[in-house]
Amino acid sequence: MRVANKNIVIGKLLLFLLCLVPALLLLWDALQQQLGANPVEALLHRSGDWSIRLLLITLAITPLRKLTARGWLLRYRRMLGLFAFFYALLHFTVYLWLDRGLSWMEISVDILERPYITLGFVAFLILLALAVTSTRGMMRRLGKHWSALHQWVYAAGLFGVIHFLWLVKADYREPGLYMAIFIILMLFRAGSFKKRLQRAFSSDALRKLSSILRCYTSENA
């Protein structure tokens, strides 16, 4: 194994363990009965917090790679995204099972009639689709549609942040910070999209200009 590859494997193992820490702390606090007066609410909040944090970290990988020219950062993106999904799944399970006691009627009414729950649910469905198609096999099978599908991660990020902003009643600092981070990441993305467009346009325009000049000079020769 090459040294660079070995470092990536070790890096992935460390990242895996690091991403598991919030879940292990949650489990520990639950076993020690240290989740406070409302354990279900604590489970719901802590799993939701880690899902949105990891999702924003996942979205930050591409801008970070461009800013620092560290290509290897991309090798960690899939794992971060999968952990964002893992915490969303935990969050949803706590909601379905402990918060709503698997009462499908109540759950359907919540999803259909409470807009912040609807948004959270849509964000969850997007993350589910991305997690299921995150394997190399799916990447090969979906071909060019894979990238288009995985652009939906930005929608999941936006819906996740709005879901949080919407449910907060007084202290907007934490969801506000996440929204600010999301907007900065989107501005960065819009900037690099604009540059790509300009580059494509200028090279296309140059090609067209040179072919017009060639036609003109051959006609006048």
For residue 12, CA distances in Å to 6, 52, 71, 150 come to 10, 20, 15, 21
- Residue whose CB is less far from ligand HEM, 44 or 181: 44
Site string for ligand HEM, 55-84 (x = CB under 6 A): x-----------------------------
Tell me which of 8, 158, 167, 186 binds ligand HEM, using CB under 6 A.
167
Q: At what angle do helices 77-93 and 39-68 cross, to 10 degrees?
A: 160
Question: Interface with ligand HEM includes 91 (CB under 6 A)?
Answer: yes
Question: Interface with ligand HEM includes 123 (CB under 6 A)?
Answer: yes
- Residue whose CB is less far from ligand HEM, 62 or 118: 118
CB 175 → ligand HEM: shortest distance, Å? 7
Q: Which span (45-53, 69-77, 191-199, 206-214) binds ligand HEM, by CB under 6 A?
A: 45-53
Tell me which of 22, 43, 48, 162 binds ligand HEM, using CB under 6 A.
48
Site for ligand HEM in 134-153 (CB under 6 A): none
CB 52 → ligand HEM: shortest distance, Å? 4
CB 56 → ligand HEM: shortest distance, Å? 9
Q: Which residues bind ligand HEM (CB under 6 A)?
A: 41, 44-45, 48-49, 51-52, 55, 88, 91-92, 95, 117, 120-121, 123-124, 127, 160, 163-164, 167
